Amino acid sequence: MSLTDRITGKVREIAATAAGQLQAFASAPLIQNVGRASPGVSLTQDTAAQKVVESREALFGRVSSRLGPVPSFVSTHPMRGITPKRVAAIHSEVLIAGWMLNKACLDEDLLLADSHLRSQDSSFRDSIVGAPWSIEPADDSELARQVADYQTAVFRNCYGFKKACRRLLYGNLAGYALEEAVYEDRATRFRLGDSYVTVECPTPVDFEWVGNRHTRFNLAAGDRLELDTGGGHIVPPPVKYVCYEANDDFQLRRRGYAYTAIWLSMVKQNAWMRAAVMLDIWGIRGPWGKASKELWEDKTRLQEMITAIQQWGTGQGVVVTDDFSIEASASGVTGDIREMHMALISAINAEESKLINASTLTTDPGEHGSYGLSDTHADSKAARVQGSEVNLSDCIARWMPHALRVACYRINPDGSFGDVNPRGLAAVLGAKPEHVIALSGRPRWRVQREMSPKDRMDLYIKGVNDLGMALDEEAPYQDFGLKKARDGAARLRGRVVAVGDGNLAVSTSEAQQGVLNPKEETDSRKES
């Protein structure tokens, strides 16, 4: 990690700690009586639901599945009969009123209807959440490492952590995504020094998807993201909800590549439809009969000809006389006409690939690709993937201090924090809760530009031997998916090497552990 990345990460951690004192996702309170009044009508707040969702009981349950304005399984399906006018109207609802229902349903329909978009989006998300992950300590202190070890143990045992992270990346398409944390009273065991300790406290054990249709933006409250209860609105408690924000230049409600992709996909679906119609009309060569004028005027023979033509190609036997023949018509679809629609579809697919991956050759090489150009595109995709990984890390890192607060304090029925939990994390570590919370770690996924295993191992060797880098010995095991031996007896020995002047033959792994030559040890004893 570069110095710039370390500085940036530290700044973000400080900001996340400060934001942890707020009861909303907004980064700072809206200052009144400065500038013009905020546009839009202030949303009705559901105070009763707000108290419930902030309560201790709500920590252990699921809230989001019953939110409004419509249930999770109900959709307005705006893609049915979609027109440019309809798309513009839905986008206006978001811009003017912060109304997200139709836009959220449109985003879902878009991903379901466009096979190329769905494939690229899925591959992009998997490239991040499929990479090895770890919790990075906040700093080099022993307490920070202990906190990170605890958080690692928590998320290793969290049922839906990986799935939740994948769903959060849906925010790249929709602009944002929410997950609801579900807690459980649990004993978490993790390593502390040379032994293991157990922390007993409410712990995140699963996550619930929160559909964007259940959200709305309160423009009068500084464009604040709120949850729609069906009868009012509530502010999502930060201890309960994780919010992912796409890396974009616009307001949160207007971010995501779906804004652009919907126009492309709409044209592409029309091209598919027209291509299907053309194939249905012109793609099948139809039979036709050829007969003399006399045969044509014979009504009985004419009906026999019509029957023979109808049976053509059905597998039934057809008998014709010398004065009658059946032939297949030439196809009305020329190569240019066929390729016109497919060329348009291919061009749109390339544009959609660029929206997601910032490149095309990594997924669609085409006819004129080259190794150099493909390599450049791979760099572009790697940069896009790493940017999303940082976003994912940021959003979870903003939420993690709240989960640590739950691990340190007792929780009152109304959701407020009481005394220090004597079995909680701070008490077990022998530290002040505020110090533990301030040292919350950061999840990181080691996404890298694709390279061969040999090249990757060469990086480790060069980093240690040539550059003297202090690399974590666990990193190669995680990077290559290898299992570390529990003890010396189970270790693979490797090739034989010589140690010292006595040329003692030992394995490579033993040599790396600093095995001494018995001959040298005996000689030293004689001299003494």
Task: Identify the CA nearest to 181 among candidates 205, 211, 213.
Answer: 205
What burial class does residue 488 get, using C-beta atoms within 10 Å of its C-beta: 0-12 exposed, 13-18 middle, 19+ buried? exposed
Average pLDDT over residues 250-271: 92
Torsion angles phi and psi, residue 357, rounded to 5:
-105, -5
Q: Is the pLDDT of residue 60 over 90?
A: yes
What are the tokens at 309?
């033509």
Structural domain range at position 527: 485-528
> How many CB atoms neighbour CB 157 within 10 A?
15
77-91, 349-363, 413-427, range with the lowest pLDDT? 349-363
Q: What percent of the chain has pLDDT over 90?
A: 51
408 and 506 belong to one structural domain: no
pLDDT value for 21? 36
Could you tell me if residue 154 is inside a domain? yes
Could you tell me if residue 163 is inside a domain? yes
pLDDT band at 527 (very low <50, low <70, confident <90, very high): low
Could you tell me if residue 134 is inside a domain? yes
pLDDT value for 300? 82
Candidate ranges 67-71, 373-377, 505-509; pick with highest mean pLDDT: 67-71
Could you tell me if residue 466 is inside a domain? no
Could you tell me if residue 127 is inside a domain? yes
pLDDT value for 373? 43
133 and 254 belong to one structural domain: yes
216 and 101 belong to one structural domain: yes
212 and 290 belong to one structural domain: no
Candidate ranges 344-353, 391-400, 482-491; pick with highest mean pLDDT: 391-400
340 and 427 belong to one structural domain: no
Q: Is the pLDDT of residue 88 over 70?
A: yes
pLDDT band at 274 (very low <50, low <70, confident <90, very high): confident
250 and 290 belong to one structural domain: no
Output the CA torsion 480→485→490→495 (10° steps): 50
pLDDT value for 3? 39
Candidate ranges 66-70, 315-319, 513-517; pick with highest mean pLDDT: 66-70
pLDDT value for 440? 98
Question: Which are the contacts of 69, defined by CB distance < 8 A and separation ≥ 6?
Answer: 101, 213, 214, 228, 230
Could you tell me if residue 254 is inside a domain? yes
Q: Is the pLDDT of residue 16 over 60?
A: no
200-209, 216-225, 425-434, 476-485, range with the lowest pLDDT? 476-485
329 and 386 belong to one structural domain: no
**Cis omega (within 30 of 0) for bond into 69:** yes
* Bigger pLDDT: 83 vs 500: 83
Phi/psi region, residue 230 (left: phi>0; alpha: psi -120 to 50; beta: rest), is: left
Distance of alpha carbon 154 from the chain centroid? 20
463-482 pLDDT per residue, tens = 888 888 887 777 787 777 77
What are the tokens at 387?
């940017």
What burial class does residue 91 get, using C-beta atoms within 10 Å of its C-beta: 0-12 exposed, 13-18 middle, 19+ buried? middle
Contact in structure between 276 and 364 (CB atoms under 8 Å): no
Q: Where are the beta strands (DSSP E) in 321-441?
A: 324-328, 409-411, 417-420
Q: Is the pLDDT of residue 405 over 50?
A: yes
Question: Which are the contacts of 230, defined by CB distance < 8 A and separation ≥ 6?
Answer: 67, 68, 69
Q: Is the pLDDT of residue 367 over 50?
A: no
pLDDT value for 439? 97
61-75, 224-238, 278-292, 389-403, range with the lowest pLDDT? 278-292
Q: How many distinct structural domains can be found in the chain?
A: 3
Q: Is the pLDDT of residue 9 over 80?
A: no
pLDDT value for 257? 96
pLDDT band at 449 (very low <50, low <70, confident <90, very high): low
Whole-prediction pTM: 0.74
141 and 45 belong to one structural domain: yes
Could you tell me if residue 365 is inside a domain? no
Could you tell me if residue 502 is inside a domain? yes
355 and 387 belong to one structural domain: no
Give the whole-angstrom CA distance, residue 217 versus residue 93: 11
pLDDT value for 489? 64
Give the whole-angstrom CA distance, residue 287 versus residue 311: 10
126-158 pLDDT per residue, tens = 999 999 899 999 999 999 999 999 999 999 999
What burial class does residue 528 get, using C-beta atoms within 10 Å of its C-beta: 0-12 exposed, 13-18 middle, 19+ buried? exposed
What residues does 183 pair with on adjacent strands?
A: 204
Q: Is the pLDDT of residue 122 over 90?
A: yes
* Bigger pLDDT: 132 vs 309: 132
122 and 189 belong to one structural domain: yes
27 and 163 belong to one structural domain: yes
